Chains A and B, each alone.
Chain A
Amino acid sequence: MLACFRSVHLAIVLISMLALATLAGVLLPQEGIVEVAQIKRDFGANYRIFKAMGLFSVYSSYWFIALEVLFFFSLLFGSFQWLKPAFLAATRKTFCGPEHIQASPHRLSYVSDASIGTVTAQVSGLLKKHRYGLHKAPAALQKPGQVLFYASKGNWSRFGPVVAHFGILMMLVASVFGAFLGFKAQKLAVPGEVFGIQQAEMFRPNVDESVWLGSVPDWKVRVNDFRIEYYPEGQTPDNMTVVKQYFADLSVLDKSGKETKRETISVNHPLAVGDTVLYQASFNPTGKLFMEVNGKPMKLDTNTTFMNRPVSLTELDNGRALMVFPFFVQQDPNVTRNYVVVFLRDQKGFVGAKPGQMPPNLRLLEGQSGTLSGMTFKYVKPEIATGLQIKKGPEVPWMYLSYIIIILGTIMCIFSQRRLWVAITTGQDGQGGRVMMLYKTNKARLSFMKELQRLQTELLSDLQYNVTPVDKPKPATGQPAPDETRQTVTV
């Protein structure tokens, strides 16, 4: 069973299945994003079959969660399986004798007139210059007239996959941790309103309440102000008024009602209170309007409808009635700035109305004043509730740590481990030195060979070596390179 989870084949199958399942969630309409009635209309008789298969709620379906669990275990056991070989490949120092190097097609061979000591110093100096770590074989492993050493670099890159896998595991564990201890809530609040987190509409723990282990903060929030800032006119290609930012001035109150913190939040700039964070997420006009009539402040309510449109109808002291049609940004089509249209009514109907004509009216943008039938009106602003998203996420620091580990692991994976086994022997006549190198890398073969080419050029040009004719290779074409761990002396 464990062997099955350790299999790279299973990992590949699971990754592919997760990709396909996620793709299904993108291509098929998902409940919560598309209305159920719409899905039913589109899929007709097939709706029930697709629904039963969980294809309209892929990411919360049992089979998708089961896939994630399988993926978790595959990662867990697979990572453990890679840990030992990665550790050995990164840390074990092996040495190859000339016979073994001779048998490999991946070898370089040179002879020099200089003594074996000089050649050893020159070769090791060159490898150090190329940032290779050198390890000389213990004297007991070397025959007389022979120097063996092992050179490597990028050993740490071997741990890349394990580190990345560990980061993913940590991320998955942190998200489960967050599910059992965290919550989300949403609240629409008007300026002046004070509310506790549990009073928030749509307060919901991340898991079913019966198994939830978290707690709700006892502090309260007061919304001091909410405002919308617009880009100055003329800054858009089509001269539309565009929202620049939403600001909510919030105070945090302790149990006694004392203010402990005050900040103005906006989109991308939330307010953190411990591990609970308040986000500026949305806004919603309440339907109430602040106006001034003949200089007298009034708060109007949209209390009726006219031709299926909500309107505010308010009796005035002079026997007339004020009728106000409000229009809101992002609620009414093609409205880019809040405004109202004001009419005056009396017992005969609209004041100043003429048959077949639009009754006299006043269109006022936010902050604008005007006169209608001898009365002055100012549209101060609409009452707008700020939409706050509240989240408690005790897992956040762990989540961020896991992100750093994943990034570190994947970056480590880019690099390769490059290894050289060097054997320097005295020449056959006891004069000069012969250098033999066996080279190997786990990836980036071309780059490695180019580096070896540079290394070789330096050897040949700077050190005045002679190039030897290379012997005919012993292994047949296509035969894999000898495994140095089996045939060499290991320390």
Chain B
Amino acid sequence: MSELNWYYTALTLLAVSVVFYLLHAIRPKTLFREGGWGTMLLSCLCLIISLVIRSATAKYFALSNMYESLLVVCIGMQLAFVVLDRWFKLRTLGLPVTLMLMGSLIYNLTLPTEIHPLQPALQSYWRSIHVPIILLSYALFAIAFLSSLVFLIKDFLGNGKQDQNQGGGQLTPAMAGAHALQNADAQPHAQTNALNLELELIQDKANVYDEITYRCVAFGFPLLTLGIILGGMWANEAWGNYWSWDPKESMSLVTLLGYGVYLHLRVNGEHSARTLSWVSVIGFVLMLITYFGVNLMGIGLHSYGKIG
């Protein structure tokens, strides 16, 4: 099978995953979630095979243009999500993630897919380290964004109403614990206790999405930092400059600072989950400008990533 055939297979599997996650969002069932998860994993494997075939054809790690980089972002999102879903057993996040992936993979087909030989500046082992790390951070920020959106929608629809009344939209551990203990009183002989109830209570509420946003940003931030630093080291080796205030570099710094604000607000502890979710949304917009916006301009040292 050719690289494109694997790509289309991945797309088809992803469409099945969308259906499963849609059913799961409407009527939660383990079967639906497991179906969505499994097809997502298979779709991810197909995309990896497609990338491997493309790399074998190009005779280098195929990560030198927009088509290939978006492919890696999608693979990163899928890998991150299958881990998250396995761990947190989420109800609502699967649908937006699969929809965003579908949109991205379909859009990717509109981009030029020709394989070009590498220009001198890109012939370095740094390319295989710096670029995937940055793209993986983008994948995590995309999931963080979707998680924030789910939180904000649930918050708006009143799913987290009880939480808002007593803590600005954030379920504090004390509240969850107290609530759990009251429930435990009602069922003194059940094989459960405060911990289980506290956990269930948090998982059912919008706050789990706030927690997931935080975990994605907490993992994405060091990756972006590492990616930017490795890029600086590469630039120093290629041109003798760590930093040139090139638009891509500057925008990635803006994105990093944006998520830095998110983490500091979080540490500060004075802000509600709603505020933090909005900051995460802003961070994602900055990331989009870095990733797509600067490439649309097609200027600067990163112009090989330009679209079209």
Known: A242-B117, A407-B229, A470-B181. A450 touches B199 (CB 8 A): yes
Select B181's contact among A25, A270, A473, beta carbons within 8 Å: A473
Main SS at interface, chain A: mixed
Q: Closest residue to A416 on the B side, CB-wise?
A: B218
Could you tell me the distance between the alpha carbons of A244 and B122 in the complex, rounded to whole angstroms?
10
Contact A446 B257, beta carbon cutoff 8 Å:
no
B202 touches A446 (CB 8 A): yes
Which residues of chain B have C-beta atoms less than 8 A from A391's C-beta? 240-241
CB nearest to A400 among chain B residues: B233
Chain B residues, Cβ within 8 Å of A266: 120
CB <8 Å contact, B193 and A235 = no
Among residues 403 to 422 in chain A, which have CB atoms less than 8 Å away from a CB atom of chain B? 403, 406-407, 410-411, 413-414
Which of B10-18, B148-156, B260-268 lies at the binding interface? B260-268
- A489 interface residue (CB < 8 Å to B): no
Tell me how far the C-beta of A234 lies from the nearest C-beta in chain B, rounded to whole angstroms: 11
Residue in contact with A446 in the complex, picked from B182, B203, B226, CB distance below 8 Å:
B203
Q: Please, how many angstroms separate the alpha-carbon atoms of A459 and B165 in the complex? A: 36
Q: Verify B191–A467 contact, CB threshold 8 A.
A: yes
B185 cross-chain contacts in A, Cβ below 8 A: 469-470, 472
A270 and B237 contacting across the interface, CB-CB below 8 Å? yes
Do A15 and B260 touch across chains, with their CB atoms under 8 A apart?
yes
Also in contact, A477 and B257, with CB within 8 A (given A236-B117, A446-B202): no
Q: How far is the CA of A277 from the CA of B237 in the complex (A)?
A: 9
Q: A267 to B115, Cβ gap below 8 A?
A: no
A478 at interface by CB-CB < 8 Å: yes
Asked whether, in the complex, the Cβ of A106 is within 8 Å of the Cβ of B123, the reply is no
Contact of A467 among B177, B193, B202 (CB under 8 A): B193
Q: Is the Cβ of A413 less than 8 Å from the Cβ of B250? A: no
Do residues A473 and B177 form an inter-chain contact, with CB atoms below 8 A?
Answer: yes
Contact B253 A108 (CB under 8 A): no
In the bound assembly, the distance between CA atoms of A242 and B304 in angstroms comes to 14
Residue interface mask B216-229, A partner, CB < 8 A = 1: 00110110011001
The residues of B that contact A400 with a CB separation of less than 8 Å are: 233
Q: Which secondary structure characterizes the binding site on chain B?
A: helix
Min CB distance A456 to B, Å, is: 6
| Distance A447 CA – B294 CA, assembled complex (angstroms) | 37
Q: A19-B261, A410-B221, A478-B175 are in contact. Are A237 and B116 (CB under 8 A)?
A: yes
Known A30-B245, A108-B193, A414-B219; contact A277-B240, beta-carbon cutoff 8 A: yes
Q: List chain A residues, Cβ under 8 A from B211.
A: 444-446
A16 to B264, CA, bound (A): 11
Are B254 and A477 neighbours in the complex by a CB distance under 8 Å? Answer: no
A472 to B232 Cα, complex, angstroms: 57
Please determine whether A105 and B174 come into contact, CB atoms closer than 8 angstroms: yes
B243-254 contact mask (Cβ, 8 Å, vs A): 1 or 0: 001010011011
Q: Which of B208, B215, B299 has the most CB of A within 10 A?
A: B215
B233 touches A478 (CB 8 A): no
Complex interface: chain A residues within 8 A of B124 (CB): 268
Bound complex: CA A452 to CA B174 (Å): 16
Is B195's CB under 8 angstroms from A475's CB?
no
User: Does B193 contact A403, Cβ atoms closer than 8 Å?
Assistant: no
Q: How many residues belonging to B are interface residues under a CB distance threshold of 8 Å?
A: 77
Chain B residues, Cβ within 8 Å of A443: 214, 218
Distance in angstroms from A347 CB to nearest chain B CB is 47
Which among A106, A246, A460 is the interface contact of B177 at CB below 8 angstroms? Answer: A106
Residues in B with CB closer than 8 Å to A279 are: 238-240
Q: Enumerate chain B residues within 8 angstroms of A231, measured Cβ to Cβ.
A: 117
**Interface pair A246/B114, CB less than 8 Å apart:** no
| Cα–Cα, bound, A220→B119 (Å) | 30
Chain A residues near B214: list those with CB within 8 A: 443
Let me know if A478 and B174 touch, CB within 8 A.
yes
Cα separation A242 to B120 with both chains bound (whole Å): 10
A22 in complex: contacting residue of B87, B184, B257, B265, CB < 8 Å: B257
Docked complex Cα distance between A8 and B294 (Å): 31
Evaluate contact between B177 and A237: CB separation under 8 angstroms: no
Verify if B68 is at the interface (C-beta below 8 Å from A): no
Cβ-closest chain B residue relative to A450: B199
Q: From residue B275, how far is it (CB to closest CB) to chain A in Å? A: 12
* Interface residue from B120, B167, B261 paired with A268 (Cβ < 8 Å): B120
Does A337 belong to the interface (CB within 8 Å)? no
Is there a chain B Cβ closer than 8 Å to A389's Cβ? yes
Instruction: Tell me, yes or no, whether A203 is within 8 Å of chain B by CB.
Output: no
Q: Beyond A25-B245, A105-B177, A406-B229: 13 further Cβ-contacts under 8 Å?
A: A15-B257, A22-B253, A105-B194, A108-B194, A393-B236, A396-B236, A400-B233, A446-B202, A447-B215, A460-B191, A476-B178, A480-B172, A481-B173
A-B interface, 6 closest residue pairs, ranked by CB to CB distance from nearest: A105-B177, A469-B188, A410-B222, A391-B240, A19-B257, A267-B120
